[in-house]
Amino acid sequence: MALANRVAEDQMTSQAVVGASKPGHLPRPSKSFSKGRTCAAPGCAKELSQYNRREKCWAHADMKVPRLRGRPTVTY
């Protein structure tokens, strides 16, 4: 019964593969954290930090900097 032997081998192989995969093995999420990334803003070539999760530099990031607000209006 060659067929039966083959099925048995497949089952053994499957179990072996499942047993080999350890739960602590995680793929490296280096797809969006690679080095050499630059700011996504047009015209900005500022290199982003490897640990910066944003697609833009701090100057072009989608964060609102209330620079003008709270500024005392100087009137002469």
The CA-to-CA distance between both ends of the chain, in Å, stands at 101
Residue 16 CB, nearest approach to Zn ion (Å)? 50
Q: Considering beta carbons, is residue 46 or 52 the nearer one to Zn ion?
A: 46
Residue 46 CB, nearest approach to Zn ion (Å)? 5
Q: Taking CB under 5 A as the criterion, which residues in 35-74 touch Zn ion?
A: 39, 41, 44, 46, 57, 60
CB within 8 A of 41, min separation 6: which ones?
Answer: 56, 57, 60
CB within 8 A of 61, min separation 6: which ones?
Answer: 54
- With tokens 């990334």, the residue in question is 37
Q: Considering beta carbons, is residue 37 or 39 the nearer one to Zn ion?
A: 39
Task: Summarize as ranges the residues that interact with Zn ion (CB under 5 A).
Answer: 39, 41, 44, 46, 57, 60
